[in-house]
Amino acid sequence: MKNTYDVYSEFHKKIDVSKIVPGYKPIIPRRQKKGSERLTNMHVRSDNMVVPNLLTGEKQKRENPLPPEFKSVLEISTRSPYCPIPFVLDVNMGKCSYLCKYCFQAQSIESLMTSFFDSENPMELRWASVEHTKKELNDVLSARGVEPDEREPMRGKCGSINETKSLKKAVAQQVPLRFGTRSENFLPGEKEHKVALMSLKVIRDFNYPLIINTKSDLIIKEPYFDIITSMGDKVAIQVTISHIDDKFSKALEPGAPSATKRWEVLKQFNDVGIRGMVRMEPCAHFLNASDEHLEKYMKVAQESGCKHFMGDTYHHTVKAQEVQSLFYDMGIDFGRMWESTSEYQILGSYAMEKAMYYAKKNGIKCGTFNYHSVPWNDDPVCCMVGDSFGSWSKYSMINALRNELVETGKPLGFKAFDDKYYGLELHPAIRQRFKDVWNLEVNNCFNPDFMEGCIPVDRDEDNNLVWQFKPELLGEGYRNIIKMYGETK
């Protein structure tokens, strides 16, 4: 079977997205009324954010959440049908001074749920304290290495995943901990509060597998660098870099360290043998997915010692007015970018596949969760840590299904899949959710038919769909585009 790059690279020469997706022009240009408040984003990201009360005309200052009225700083996210590494530690939620224009943290807070095998709890704004986090980490991580047989089977039982018992279940299975998912953990306040520093020490002492997601260069300063490097192959650093141009990055992510500093972070870790991987999120047409930019970007990635790249397109919940205005203010046509790049748009996947193509050309392995036109990654886990931390792909049903279908080429029904991957592990509520996704009964962009080449071919005895991967279908979407528009390049 041809690999993805052979199948798709031919389209790079034939499709010009700018000739397919029209530009947008606001009918009435936005002009801010003198004296009116302008929200910089809808969530509490800056100290001076005020919310005007329309009835009284008064301005109310939004205060940051005080530490901590929450059950736990450790969470398992319920993207379980989707995210293979759902065990997360965010020490701060709600206030991020990096102010990235594309940030969808606010939507995450509203839409993500904190259960893995059970109930749905909305995320809350919070700020972690050292004492609370330390106590919890020590308690939860002590479950590491508990034999699966000693764990109580969960089938038929309930309990919030934020509860220690459920967190320990993830730890017993050594699901890697992801540090900084919905917010940055190394913000300037860290220099004073040191919650991240303490957490790293505890995690290191437990020798627990860790993925650090960051845009900060604090981690190459001491004592951070020393602690992280002492974790050896138990740690992977993922640094998000959207654009190689420092001026453009400054406009896009005004509070974050420059792109140059972030490449330096990757280089320093890679130089001492710690896996430093670059993330491009979002990878979007009219933003950073031109051939010219991708070519330069991957060259710098290679020079920074990166052997792994991962990326994603634009989150489907982001089409919020406040986010749009931020892009229009920058002179970027949000409408056009969104039309072409939001997740599960075929052209969005095209941007992602193109980025991976340029990564490959520079000898860099790649992964994405945007499987549309990327039916397989270079690692069983889309975050590119499966080779060192073990394959956790089963915790993303879509990921596991895709790997299974591509590998076997055979039809697969839900029961066979469930028995092979989950058995007693899955809570009934999550099993039902998996089943709904499997049967295309969920109004969501990430269903199995999102993966190009995967189609339902039958129903099994329980009336669930049977899926199969058909390689001859790869490229179908792009062939249709060429049929409609001709070759635009």
**Residue 167: enclosing H or E segment and its boundaries?**
helix 164-172
C-alpha span between 52 and 38 (Å, rounded): 9
Cβ proximity to ligand SF4, 183 vs 393, nearer residue: 183
Cβ proximity to ligand SF4, 44 vs 465, nearer residue: 44
Place of tokens 């585009």: 481
Among 17, 44, 103, 294, binds ligand SF4 (CB under 6 A): 103
Cβ proximity to ligand SF4, 218 vs 412, nearer residue: 218
Under a CB-based contact definition with an 8 Å cutoff, are residues 49 and 61 in contact?
yes
The distance of Cα 436 from the centroid of its chain, to the nearest Å, equals: 22
For the bound state, the minimum distance from the C-beta of residue 317 to ligand SF4, rounded and expressed in Å, comes to 13
Number of residues that bind ligand SF4 (CB under 6 A): 9
Question: Is 262 strand, coil or helix?
Answer: helix
Cβ proximity to ligand SF4, 44 vs 466, nearer residue: 44
Among 100, 109, 141, 228, binds ligand SF4 (CB under 6 A): 100
What is the β-pairing status of strands 275-280 and 235-240? parallel
Question: Is 461 strand, coil or helix?
Answer: coil
Segment lying near ligand SF4 (by CB under 6 A), choices 26-34, 54-62, 100-108, 361-369: 100-108
For the bound state, the minimum distance from the C-beta of residue 447 to ligand SF4, rounded and expressed in Å, comes to 26
Among 107, 133, 160, 183, binds ligand SF4 (CB under 6 A): 183
Cβ proximity to ligand SF4, 239 vs 298, nearer residue: 239
**Residue 365: enclosing H or E segment and its boundaries?**
strand 365-368
Segment lying near ligand SF4 (by CB under 6 A), choices 26-34, 63-71, 96-104, 362-370: 96-104
Cβ proximity to ligand SF4, 40 vs 468, nearer residue: 40
C-alpha span between 187 and 399 (Å, rounded): 32
Place of tokens 């996210």: 77
- Cβ atoms < 10 Å from Cβ of 26: 12
- Cβ atoms < 10 Å from Cβ of 259: 24
Per CB under 6 A, does 181 bind ligand SF4?
no
For the bound state, the minimum distance from the C-beta of residue 185 to ligand SF4, rounded and expressed in Å, comes to 10
C-alpha span between 482 and 475 (Å, rounded): 11
For the bound state, the minimum distance from the C-beta of residue 240 to ligand SF4, rounded and expressed in Å, comes to 8
For the bound state, the minimum distance from the C-beta of residue 90 to ligand SF4, rounded and expressed in Å, comes to 9
Site for ligand SF4 in 197-216 (CB under 6 A): 215
The distance of Cα 190 from the centroid of its chain, to the nearest Å, equals: 23
C-alpha span between 235 and 291 (Å, rounded): 32
Among 75, 118, 184, 190, binds ligand SF4 (CB under 6 A): 184
Per-residue binding letters, 213-252, with ligand SF4 (x by CB under 6 A) = --x-------------------------------------
Cβ proximity to ligand SF4, 95 vs 427, nearer residue: 95
Place of tokens 């860290």: 190
Segment lying near ligand SF4 (by CB under 6 A), choices 28-36, 97-105, 129-137, 289-297: 97-105
DSSP 63: P
Cβ proximity to ligand SF4, 272 vs 330, nearer residue: 330
443 Cβ partners below 8 Å, 6+ apart?
none
Place of tokens 């528009």: 485
Segment lying near ligand SF4 (by CB under 6 A), choices 75-83, 93-101, 141-149, 410-418: 93-101
Cβ proximity to ligand SF4, 184 vs 425, nearer residue: 184
Among 8, 11, 70, 98, binds ligand SF4 (CB under 6 A): 98
Per CB under 6 A, does 99 bind ligand SF4?
yes
Cβ proximity to ligand SF4, 325 vs 464, nearer residue: 325
Instruction: Please give the span between the terminal C-alpha atoms of the chain, in angstroms, as a whole number.
Output: 27
* Rounded (10°) angle between helices 321-329 and 334-341: 120
Under a CB-based contact definition with an 8 Å cutoff, are residues 485 and 479 in contact?
no
Question: Is 185 strand, coil or helix?
Answer: coil
208 Cβ partners below 8 Å, 6+ apart?
141, 144, 171, 174, 176, 177, 234
Site for ligand SF4 in 134-163 (CB under 6 A): none
Per CB under 6 A, does 400 bind ligand SF4?
no
For the bound state, the minimum distance from the C-beta of residue 346 to ligand SF4, rounded and expressed in Å, comes to 25
Per CB under 6 A, does 96 bind ligand SF4?
yes
C-alpha span between 215 and 96 (Å, rounded): 11
At residue 66's C-alpha, the angle toward residues 60 and 68, to 5°, is: 145
Cβ proximity to ligand SF4, 169 vs 178, nearer residue: 178
Per CB under 6 A, does 326 bind ligand SF4?
no
Under a CB-based contact definition with an 8 Å cutoff, are residues 447 and 397 in contact?
no
Among 72, 105, 160, 396, binds ligand SF4 (CB under 6 A): 105
For the bound state, the minimum distance from the C-beta of residue 116 to ligand SF4, rounded and expressed in Å, comes to 22
Q: Contact positions toward ligand SF4, by CB under 6 A?
A: 96, 98-100, 103, 105, 183-184, 215
